[in-house]
Structure 1
Amino acid sequence: MAGQMLRRWNSFYGAFDPVDAAIEAVDPDQFSRHVFQRARGDLLVWLCNAADDDQAERICGILDDLMAESLETLRMVPSTPGVPISTELDESVRALREHDSERIRLLARGIVSGWEASVEDDVVKVTPAMPMKKL
């Protein structure tokens, strides 16, 4: 089952990098993610070498918690107006809406909904300012 746990995280592990990059971009001094990156790397090695299913499940639970905390941080960091969300970040967070963890799914859905609402707000603000073409 340890192999099954590794497969569970295999498709989502890459989401940490764009999430970390987005968090660090706001304030690299305050939101340095290097310690988290090293810890996650260690956890992945431990998951690969898990002695039994219980140990693998505990490690996956820790990874779930780390991703949830990263998504909470991403949701709370102030966004910079006019700075587009990277395609990699968008795709990664959207993919997390299908994660096994309900907490991660809900956080990812909330973030995506917030982005979509922000885009809709921007469209509403810009539309009246656009000159109308005469027919």
Structure 2
Amino acid sequence: MAGQMLRRWESFYGAFDPVDAAIEAADPDQFSRHVFRCARGDLLGRLCSAADDDQAERICGILDDMMAESLETLRLVPSSTPEAPVSTELAESVRALREHGSERVRLLARGIVSGWEASVQDQDDGAKVTPATPMKKP
């Protein structure tokens, strides 16, 4: 089962990098993700060498929680405001997380994507130019 757990996370593990990059872009000093990267690397190593299914499941649960916390941080940092561009890699990664095995991760990812879509819609609506009403001649 440890192999199953690894496969479960394999397609989503790469999402951490663009999420971390977007968080750090807001303020590299305040939002450094170095410690989180090290912890995730350790967890991935432990998942690969998990002795039994229970241990593998616990590690996956921790990775799920780490992804949820990363998404929550992404949602809150200034870099995710409508004025900030969203990289293609970040958008694709977060969209893929809408299919994650953890309900919390799925909901957070869906909320972030919905927020992005709403901000794009708001920008589009605000950018529409309405023709001026012609002035009547006196």
The TM-score with structure 2 as length reference comes to: 0.91
Distance 2:130 2:42 in 1: 52
Q: What residue identity is the alignment partner of 2:46?
A: W
Distance 2:129 2:21 in 1: 34
Q: What residue identity is the alignment partner of 2:117?
A: E
Provide the residue aligned with 2:125 in structure 1.
Answer: 124
Q: Looking at CA atoms only, which structure, 1 or 2, has the larger radius of gyration?
A: 2
Q: What's the CA shift for 1:82?
A: 3.7
Q: What residue identity is the alignment partner of 2:45?
A: V
Q: What's the CA shift for 1:130?
A: 8.8
Cα distance change, pair 81–110 in 1 and its aligned pair in 2 (3 A): closer
Unmatched 5+ residue regions in structure 1?
none
Q: What's the CA shift for 1:128?
A: 1.9
Provide the residue aligned with 2:40 in structure 1.
Answer: 40
Q: What's the CA shift for 1:78?
A: 1.5
Q: Is the 8 A contact 2:82 2:116 kept in 1?
A: no
Distance 1:17 1:61 in 2: 19
Unmatched 5+ residue regions in structure 2?
133-138
Provide the residue aligned with 1:104 in structure 2.
Answer: 105
Q: Does 1:91 align with 2:92?
A: yes
Q: Is the 8 A contact 2:15 2:94 kept in 1?
A: yes
Q: What residue identity is the alignment partner of 1:115?
A: W
Distance 1:92 1:129 in 2: 37
SS at match of 1:128: coil
SS at match of 2:129: helix
Provide the residue aligned with 2:135 in structure 1.
Answer: none
Cα distance change, pair 83–38 in 1 and its aligned pair in 2 (3 A): same
Q: What's the CA shift for 1:129?
A: 6.8
Provide the residue aligned with 1:77 in structure 2.
Answer: 77
Distance 1:106 1:63 in 2: 16
Distance 1:17 1:87 in 2: 13
Identical residues among aligned pairs (%) = 80
Distance 2:6 2:91 in 1: 23
Q: Is the 8 A contact 2:82 2:120 kept in 1?
A: no
**RMSD of the alignment, in Å?**
1.5
